Amino acid sequence: MTDNLEQKALITIFGGTGDLANRKLYPSLYHLFSKGYLKKNFAVIGTARREWSNDFFRDKVKESIQDIATSSAEADEFASHFYYQSHDVTNKESYVSLKTLSDSLDQKYDLAGNRIFYLAMAPNFFGIIASRIKSEGFVDTKGFHRLIIEKPFGHDLESAKELNDSLREAFHEDEIYRIDHYLGKEMIQNISVIRFANSIIESLWNNRYIDNIQVTLSETLGVEDRGRYYDESGALRDMVQNHILQIVSLLAMEPPIKLSTKEIRHEKVRALRSLRVYEGEEVLKNFIRGQYSAGHAFGKELKGYREEDNVNPESNTETFVAAKLLIDNFRWTGVPFYIRTGKRLAGKATQIAIRFKDVPMNLFSGDMAALGGNVLVIHIQPNEGITLHLNVKKPGQGMETMPVNLNYAHSSPDGMNTPEAYEKLILDCLRGDATYFSHWDEVSLSWNFIDHVADVWKGTDTHFPNYKPGTMGPDEADELLTKDGFSWFKVHEEE
Ligand code: BG6
């Protein structure tokens, strides 16, 4: 490992005692440490309201990496870079002691004034933290200053704008790293390579050859302990506004003139600008929502959404969304992008299916339907890889056809929502590469699109709950495609 891999920085994590920090951030930082990206010149400050000592905090950090640490000596060495500061984000005084600690660590570890501020806590405090970071002089050092901010980035366009304005008081757009952890996933980053490094793919990547594109993000979990947040959010804001629209923009964008952050973002923004914004009746025709009922699935009795903790017993919040999106430009006019996501579905999987048009006529025995269409499937998780579905001759006499799959799979490091996505994103931020973070222009276009849907839904009745756990959502989600003559490409065997 050469020395120039090493990144120097002070990383201050607001929400340092939280679930995200323990499950994702500390393991990711440890991976960066064990690979030599973080070595001697780094320090991490964890802040939260609780009164913890450095030793107690370091024990927690070590606990969070116990399954991945190669030796206890290495875990000790890693944890020795961690410091804890009890902090009340609304209290000005708190920032004074935090700043003193920051400056001393800067000296002690020779950090060149490089600072990353990671906001891993309730979004209502994002604005105040950013403005104190500015007013108390945290960003007056010589090095770089970057803000990593977790979702949700607002709950509609207006609140997102407000939040953005408050962040912009302290940070420039190019210093703000808005996390969308899907953008850190290996196979999401692979979309551009699959498209732009393969002439046989990119030359077919348009409305002359593609029939429809399907994006499925399905989960088996319910809302778990996040009822309070989720009941205000719902699947539309929780998954579609960010992860799904980001994936759609990567699938739909034009080839960038080069692989720079600026050029890629420019093309993603153009794709999002071409997304047809639905109004009134169009929303009801093209967007389907669902909510899970109680039921038996995965070998146990499960509560309905309305019975979950911290959820309104009469809640009309959607736990499932399916939709038909249209992109009005030369490349995509006429090609529906079907999307779906939901909780308590038949399996945990994220998959993109690109269905190519049928051949003009079937020269072989049977009708057209017997000849399976060509489909390119990009498996995001839990499996990672691509499958191309083709037709070949059945061995033996005659000219009967049969489907075959060309498979490329590489094993996913350790299942879903791995720290690896965070690891990549934190390293990108340390290096100043914002390609796989959401730019404000993308966020605002996405919110504008989502707000139109949410407004229409707010004013119309629902018939919730309308799907059972362990299924793939309400029947209307299937009808959305059958009325166009299509069907969902299976994600799970049970489907
Ligand atoms: C988060 C959502 O952004 O993504 C969660 O808030 C969801 O509700 C999660 O469960 C899914 O992420 P992954 O990586 O497990 O597919």
pLDDT, one tens digit per residue, over 304-360 is 999 999 999 999 999 999 999 999 999 999 999 999 999 999 999 999 999 999 998
Report how far apart, in Å, the C-alpha atoms of 148 and of each of 30, 168, 187, 473 are: 18, 13, 22, 34
Q: Ligand 1 pocket check: which of 23, 216, 239, 244 to mutate, most ligand atoms within 8 Å of Cβ?
A: 239
- Per-residue pLDDT band at 495 (split at 50, 70, 90): low
Distance of CA 316 to the CA centre of its chain: 24
Closest by CA to 241, choosing from 328, 178, 316, 290, is 178
CATH fold for domain 9-150: Rossmann fold (3.40.50)
Using a pLDDT cut of 70, give the percent of the chain over it.
97
- Predicted pLDDT at 494: 55
Gap between the Cα atoms of 107 and 163, Å rounded: 33
Helix (H, G, I), strand (E, B) or coil at 60: helix
- Predicted pLDDT at 412: 54
- So where are the chain's domains? 9-150, 183-420+439-494
- Predicted pLDDT at 400: 87
Which residues, in sequence order, are bridge partners of residue 296?
301
pTM of the predicted model, to two decimals? 0.94
Query: Which residue's structure tokens are 């959820």?
Result: 311
Contacts of 329 (CB under 8 A, 6+ apart): 271, 274
Which structure tokens are listed for 46?
């964890």
Find the residues whose C-beta lies inside 6 A of ligand 1. 181, 219, 238, 350, 416-417
Gap between the Cα atoms of 455 and 115, Å rounded: 40
pLDDT top residue among 122 and 488: 488
Closest by CA to 429, choosing from 165, 183, 95, is 183
Cβ-contact 320, 244 below 8 angstroms: no
243 is catalytic: yes
- Per-residue pLDDT band at 367 (split at 50, 70, 90): confident
* pLDDT for residue 385 is more than 80: yes
**CATH number 1.20.930.40 is the correct assignment for the domain at 183-420+439-494:** no
Instruction: Report how far ligand 1's centroid is from the alpha carbon of 219 (Å).
Output: 8
CA-proximal residue: ligand 1, atom 5 (nearest) = 238
Section 262-273 average pLDDT = 97
Lowest mean pLDDT among 252-266, 396-410, 471-485: 396-410
C-alpha neighbours within 13 Å on the C-beta side of residue 70? 8
* pLDDT for residue 415 is more than 70: no
Query: Which atom number of ligand 1 is nearest to the Cα of residue 421?
Result: 14
- Per-residue pLDDT band at 247 (split at 50, 70, 90): very high
Query: Which residue's structure tokens are 């870079």?
Result: 81
